[in-house]
Amino acid sequence: MNRPRISIEMEMSPNTYHFSSARPPTLSFTLTPHASQCLTILVPHSSPLATGRSMNTGGYPISDLSTSPPTTVKIGDMTGYISVPASPNEMIVLQPGQRSKKFQVAFNRGASYEPSFRPQPWHIVRNGRLLDQDGKETSIRRPSVVHGVDGLEAGKTYKTTMAIDKLEKTPWWWGDEKDEPDRKDLGSKVGGIEWEIVNGGVEFRVEE
């Protein structure tokens, strides 16, 4: 049987983020399989499909479209440094030609909507600092790298996608949950899916 192809559609809402807003935008995506039968993927904890951790594991590369050619933005990637939960990975069962549920993540440091994680502009982030509620720079230290809109520059248009190299580490099998192979054999089930990011990802803009 031919290897499956899975297309991923990404959306950003709103697609223009203002640093004057405490709430970061939401990145959402759906998966559509192009296969003749049901298949199941087991989402690795370091995968961009694992929305609980994807903002900390470099799951969504960002390009600065204001340059020609576009330049890659250095984003935070704590893969190998963060603890991996003992709980089983999430299973996603995909029926032929049917879209998956919509996955959503706060496009921000820590994938958080909390006020204490309010996105900061690059001229603050590069110094490894935070702003307080009055917009004044504090002495509190933070990572001086980009996570989602946190650390980007106002007045620019960007594009984000998914890290294909991480998607390619996804174990999968034909069938649903009841057909799951022994976890000891999952190593032989990694790879083989053809991943397609529709339109290469999603564009968005950042303003003051």
Q: What are 31-86's pLDDT values in tens digits? A: 999 999 999 999 988 899 999 888 988 999 999 999 999 999 999 887 655 555 54
- Amino acid at residue number 137: E
**Where is average pLDDT lowest: 122-131, 160-169, 198-207?**
122-131
For the ranges 16-30, 102-116, 138-152, which has the lowest average pLDDT? 138-152
pTM here? 0.89
Query: What beta strand segments (E) does 19-57 contain?
Result: 26-34, 39-42
Q: What pLDDT does residue 189 have?
A: 72
Mean pLDDT on 14-31: 96
Of 75-84, 141-150, 180-189, give the lowest mean pLDDT range. 75-84
**What mean pLDDT comes out for the span 152-162?**
97
Average pLDDT over residues 139-161: 91
148 and 106 in contact (C-beta within 8 Å)? yes
What pLDDT shows up at residue 97? Answer: 87
pLDDT greater than 80 at residue 199:
yes
Domain 5-112+154-207 grouped into CATH 3.40.50: no
- Cα 7 from chain centroid (whole Å): 15
| pLDDT at residue 187, as a whole number | 61
Question: Are residues 131 and 124 in contact, defined by beta-carbon separation less than 8 angstroms?
Answer: yes
Q: Which of 5-19, 31-45, 65-79, 184-198 has the lowest mean pLDDT?
A: 184-198
Is the Cα torsion angle 71, 74, 75, 79 positive or negative in sign?
positive
- Give pLDDT tens digits for 87-130: 557 899 999 989 999 999 999 998 999 988 889 999 888 888 77
Token digits of residue 118: 């309010």
